[in-house]
Amino acid sequence: MKKIELDIVALSHSVTQSHNYAVVLGERSGARRLPIVIGSFEAQAIAVAMERMTPNRPLTHDLFRNTLETFNIELREVVINNLLDGIFYARLICIKDGEIIEIDSRTSDALAMAVRFNCPIYTYEFILDAAGVVLEESEEEGEMEEAPASGGTEKASLSSYSVEELQRMLDEVLGEENYERAAEIRDEIDRRKKDS
């Protein structure tokens, strides 16, 4: 079967399930999107890696990455290989001493690892046919605006702080291991840097 390469294009609150998030994967050479509902811990694990944050202690996915690297195992790619009863399945495709090793994984964990290893994410046509959606250009812009995992009210409250105060807040929430809030603060700091 031909593999289709995907990129993570958005991470937001799930519209269909409260207290959960949706990671939206976009077809690299097409207009289809694959939304996958994940838990808040998994969303934080992906967001921390995407934002290049360094937690005080390694998160589980960082520990796994360090373990693979210690034993000279390379994560070559992640493949979302099945969809059964609304549940996505994935495999980590690794290389050890020239031998290919496939490891079964939850899709959210596989995505968190892909971001840490900067490796490609793939799926198959039958999965995109079953669960993919095609967005019009105007919808796509709206989707990207909704990408941060926070609501608009929290973002608005951050705008009242100076950059120095935001930096102190960022250090505090990283110390508390509140990575969701850290991502919101980092986004606000980045937005201001772009504006200046």
Residue 106 burial by Cβ neighbours in a 10 Å radius (0-12, 13-18, 19+): middle
d(C-alpha 6, C-alpha 31), whole Å? 11
At 89-117, the pLDDT tens digits run 999 999 999 999 999 999 999 999 999 99
Phi, psi of 141 (to 5 degrees): -60, -40
DSSP per-residue letters across 39-72:
-HHHHHHHHHHHTT---SS--HHHHHHHHHHHTT
The more confidently predicted of residues 67 and 149 is: 67
Q: What's the CATH class of domain 3-149?
A: alpha beta
Sign of dihedral through CA atoms 25, 61, 98, 105? negative
At 128-163, the pLDDT tens digits run 999 999 876 544 444 433 333 333 334 436 777 788
d(C-alpha 81, C-alpha 27), whole Å? 15
How many CB atoms neighbour CB 47 within 10 A?
A: 24
Q: Where are the domains of the chain?
A: 3-149, 150-196
